[in-house]
Every structure is written in C-alpha cells, then in structure tokens.
Amino acid sequence: MAKTLLLIVNPRAGRTRSMAPMFDAAVHFCEAGYHISIRRTAYPGHAAEIVESEGGNFDRIVCCGGDGTLNETVRGVMTLDAPPPVGYIPSGSTNDFAASLSLTADPVQAAKRITSSRGKRLDVGTFNGRPFVYVASFGAFTKASYSAPQSIKNDLGHLAYLLEGVRDLSTLRPYPATVATEEEVFDGDFLFGAITNATSVGGLMKLQKEQVVLDDGLFELLLIPTPTSASELQELIRALVLQDFTGGGVVFRHVPAVTVTTPEGFPWTLDGEYGSGAETVEIRNLRQRLEFLL
C-alpha cells in the first residue's frame, strides 16, 4: 500500500517567494514512494484547520514555513486521534526550533532528511490547554515577535526583531506576576519571562545546547526581573550581552510545569505568534508527546 504525505506550504514565509525549491522537494517525496497532497496556507490559522480536517488521512505531515507555521501544524496534529509523524522544512525568518535541532533550510536536503528519518519523540507544551512547540513568553521584546510586518521579517530576519525590540525600550514597563513551579515561587516585577524548550528564544537570546534537552519533560524557565537600582541594571545588561543567565539577578530553572498569575492578562507569544493572556496561565510539558522526523 502506498505511503501518503500531506505537504503544507506557507508561501509568505521566509526571504524568498520562489516555490521552485519546493518543487524539487516534492519530486523527492514522490521518488521516495510517497503519494503527496500539497496545500498552501492562505491566512493565519489555516495550517491548523487543514491538519484538523485532513491530517488523519495521511501517514506523514510535513510543513514548510516559519515557526508559526510549525506551531499551527502541531496544533492541528494534536487534535487527531492517531497523530502521524511531523516533518519540518524551515523557511521562515528566524526558525528558532530548527536552529535548536540544526535542521537544514534547503528544501531538498530537508526532504531527504525527512524520508530517511526513523523519527524521534519530542516534548510539546500546552498553554492553558493550547499546544505550542518551543516557547511561551511575555514582556519586553515579546511584542516584537508578532508586531514586525512579515515583509520586514523576510528582508531583515533577526534584525527585524531587534529593531522592533528597540522600539519597545521606550515603553518598557514592569510586568507584575507570580510565577510558581513545583518547588519555588517567584513573586515580583519582570521585564521578560520565557518558558522554552529551545536553544534560541525570539532569535535574540541564546542558550547553550547542553542546557536544553528536547525530550526530557522539562522546560527552561527564564525570568528577567525589573532592575531596582543602577547596579542591578548594569548586571542585567552584562548578563544579556554575554548571554550568561546564571547571574545578574536572572532566574534560570529546568521545570516540568509553570503557573503564572497576574493582576491583568497581559499578552504572550507562543512560538513567536500572538497568544492572548489570562490572569492565570498554566503551562505544562507533555513529555515526548509527538514524533518528529528529524
């Protein structure tokens, strides 16, 4: 019986609009023995809708786009009774998840990797029940990940996030929150917070590969408290410049779950896309929940 593959393509993602490399990737899938069906996304959330309605009919689901497209695909796959393995061809402007796994952005090489992969089960997160792949974040620079226009992201990549973040600096404000893990509670004002399962956060913050394990059931919790003095601010700037999150008042932990309580439901981002907040947010790690073709 022939193998079947659903290929979802976001034509707006990345630095080039040419679909020629995707044609070569599609040819490889066919030559590898797959009957493929190709769907192009037309609007935000479309990938999730496609997978929810059609994904259960395929042996493999592959998406080509940025982290947002991957997020939507995984959200759709998580609704299926028997989720098929997921492949990812990164073509976005940042591709944090791909960077964590050292995945190639060349469509043909990515297709070859996917067809030869034996599959690996990785952790998936939930944000008040909504699935996400690698990061939920709030605070400074968070808005930049979804406010930078797609055209600017395509042209400038990581610089687009930085430019939008610098814009945010003029309106930096503390985010009062209580962040509870199974063992500790952090109560105060924070400039930024992230619950992540990746070595790159927003294309700006980098974690060492030995600090991040993608299938251990643990998130990396990163909290940056609001400085209350010039010396604290200097320490914080040093920590950010050196990407050293062991000092400067920065909180860095490995945790399976986090509950964030706030006096107001400030906005979050999930995998770089806008996620509406709530006064209480429960974030859980579903260990090795989904099989990825790496």
Residue with token string 């939507």 = 72
Query: Parallel, antiparallel, or unpaired for β 86-90 and 280-293?
Result: parallel
| Distances 207 to 91, 201, 221, 228, 281 between C-alpha atoms, Å | 22, 8, 11, 25, 24
* Angle formed by the axes of helices 20-31 and 107-116, nearest 10°: 20
Could you tell me what percent of the chain has a pLDDT over 90?
54
The mean pLDDT of 186-195, rounded to a whole number, is 92
Give residue 82's identity as a one-letter amino acid code. A
Q: State the pLDDT at residue 231.
A: 84
Band of residue 18 on the pLDDT scale cut at 50, 70, 90: low
| pLDDT per position as a tens digit, 74-86 | 999 999 999 999 9
Q: What is the DSSP code string of 164-211?
A: HHHHHHTT---EEEEEE-SS-EEEEEEEEEEEESSSEETTTEE--GGG
The mean pLDDT of 162-183, rounded to a whole number, is 70
> Where is average pLDDT lowest: 58-67, 110-119, 120-129, 238-247?
238-247
Band of residue 89 on the pLDDT scale cut at 50, 70, 90: very high
Band of residue 122 on the pLDDT scale cut at 50, 70, 90: very high
pLDDT at 56 over 90: yes
pLDDT at 222 over 80: yes
Q: Are 10 and 64 in contact (CB under 8 A)?
A: yes
> Tokens in use for 183?
């063992």
**Mean pLDDT of the residues in the chain:** 85
Could you tell me what percent of the chain has a pLDDT over 70?
84
- Please tell me the distance from the alpha carbon of residue 183 to that of residue 197, in angstroms, as a whole number: 19
The 10 Å CB-count burial string (b at 16+, else e) for 252-271 is bbebbbbebbbeeebebbbb
